[in-house]
A and B are shown apart, each in its own frame.
Chain A
Amino acid sequence: MQNAKDSFYVALRTRLVAVNPERTILLRAAVRPGILVEEAEAPFSQLPTDVFVLRWLGLAVDQDLPATMAAEECEIVYATLGTQSFGGMDRGRAMSEMDEELVAMLAPFWTPKLNYRSTPATTLMTRVFWDEPVFQPVTVTRDRLTRSARVVVYSYEEAGELVG
């Protein structure tokens, strides 16, 4: 299951670089594409703005199939304050921009499953695929706009694959 989570994240990160290479984050002294996995970073007191944060939530498993299917629920959270140059009054536009970027990043709705435990990563036999996102309403906290979208990510466990 970890391979599916890793593959989903890397696919979205790769697509974000193509969709908007300007969206970056300085994290642990490195400039990276503006998307991260919450459980793979040090805890945040407040989520960073203008980046996509992946948060893994629910899990369901169907073992009555030729290959066990895992359904992992991913919440993608993003927030913005707009830009300083506009005094934050462009925060609605900035939110729309991130909405559009997320829609673009999620299509096509599949990616090859890779095992990132090995270096270089090895391509496995099956694909990771996901449903269409379900967007939640924007929440407003003073000048901070936050939205989340939930995506169910499906994958098949392959023979010999470690269950993470």
Chain B
Amino acid sequence: MSNSYLAAAPVVRRVRGYFAPVNRVTQTPVIFDAAEMGGFGLDSPPSPWIALGWLKGFTRKAVSKTAQIVSGVPAAVLEQTRETVGAEVSFEFLSWTKLTMVLASASQQMNLLLPAGGAAASGDGGAGVAAGVVGTGSTATFISLAPVDAAKFTAGQIVAVDVDYTGQTGYVGTPVSGAYVKSALTDVDYVRRVTVNVARIAQVGATGLTLAEALPGGAPAAGMKAQPVVGFVDREGGSFYQEWSAVFVMEGSQGERIFFHYPRLQALASAAESATALDGKTGTLERVLLAGRFVALPVTDPLDGERVVCYRSFLPAASSLV
């Protein structure tokens, strides 16, 4: 009896997506190593990767252009040369979260701060209630606050945790750059408006907030403040493009895995939605999906200095012949 078999092409269901932040200042992406990390549990990716859930309609397209050098009579291709390197990816997120909304929008994606009493109406949300200083001893799932600040929150609210805006320019936001400030602003809460460092509050105690999920930025740094959030808002327009490192995984029926790793992805299209019927036969209900279209930016592979935009890795099924 043979201890190996010739495997057919992988049979997969949907695609899983994973996110990691790009350091926009240094243009440093997070690199995924399929050899080291390829066996991870799909629900518990290795740090700093964050699961984005299932994706629908995953489509990737190479837009690299190749030119042919022809020679002779009659002319024949002598050799080929790659003129441009590029790739695009498109898919739909099957959940609306802060992170998926950020990634799917080609602009700043902001938090709607809980408005202060009497705040003037604003499309981005009015002036927020005063933020509370995060104390020492905070973790990714617990925010230490003074009792007077903790009392401003209620269980079930969303909290944003980040630093005050103090006139800085450039990229702002933790752990993901949520915006690029070209000239100094006046809103002290601006960084907390654009931060992705948000989480749902499970419990409010006298000493702080217990979170129902970990903050994407991990334990808050010194100087950060916490502010209640009621929702999210983004705009059509603006000049900021989100950028992230991405891994997409297709798991085959025999346990084989195909990875598509894009070290740098930027949103290519404006925020958009697509609707699919829940029951195509008679129903009227529709599921509204966040539609994303992205362009891959290049990195230089330190192995040989080649400029590339995507890595495709394949981990074969156990016992399958290769």
Contact = CB atoms under 8 A, between A and B. Distances in A.
A134 B279 CA distance: 12
A92 B278 CA distance: 34
B235 interface: no
Contacts of A129: 285
B30 to A, nearest CB: 23
Contact of A65 (B94, B279, B284, B285): B94
A71 B279 contact: yes
A71 B278 contact: yes
A131 B53 contact: no
Interface string B265-306: 000000000000011001111000000000000000000000
B260 interface: no
Contacts of A66: 53-54, 94-95
A152 interface: yes
A154 B95 contact: no
Given A66-B94, A71-B279, A131-B279, A154 B13 contact: no
Interface in A20-51: none
A109 B202 CA distance: 28
Interface in A43-102: 64-66, 71
B276 to A, nearest CB: 11
A64 B94 contact: yes
A151 B79 CA distance: 64
Interface centre among A64, A132, A152 (most CB of B within 10 A): A64
Contacts of B94: 64-66
Secondary structure of the B contact surface, majority rule: loop
A152 B13 CA distance: 25
Contacts of B283: 131-132, 152
Given A131-B285, A152-B283, A64 B278 contact: no
B14 interface: yes
Interface in A114-148: 129, 131-132, 134
A65 B278 CA distance: 13
A154 B278 contact: yes
Contacts of B53: 65-66
Interface in B1-54: 13-14, 53-54
A65 B95 contact: yes
Contacts of A71: 278-279
Given A64-B14, A131-B285, A152 B279 contact: yes
A126 to B, nearest CB: 13
Contacts of B54: 64-66
A71 B287 CA distance: 13
Nearest to B283: A131
A64 B285 CA distance: 18
Nearest to B54: A64
A69 B257 CA distance: 26
Contact of B13 (A64, A134, A150): A64
Nearest to A109: B285
Nearest to B97: A66
Nearest to A131: B283
A71 B281 CA distance: 13
B284 A132 contact: yes
Contacts of A152: 278-279, 283
Contacts of B284: 131-132
A110 to B, nearest CB: 11
B49 to A, nearest CB: 17
A154 B287 CA distance: 12
Interface in B212-256: none
Interface string B74-111: 00000000000000000000110000000000000000
A71 B54 CA distance: 19
A136 B104 CA distance: 42
25 contacts: A64-B13, A64-B14, A64-B94, A65-B54, A65-B95, A66-B53, A66-B54, A66-B94, A66-B95, A71-B278, A71-B279, A129-B285, A131-B278, A131-B279, A131-B282, A131-B283, A131-B285, A132-B283, A132-B284, A134-B282, A150-B282, A152-B278, A152-B279, A152-B283, A154-B285
Interface of A: 64-66, 71, 129, 131-132, 134, 150, 152, 154
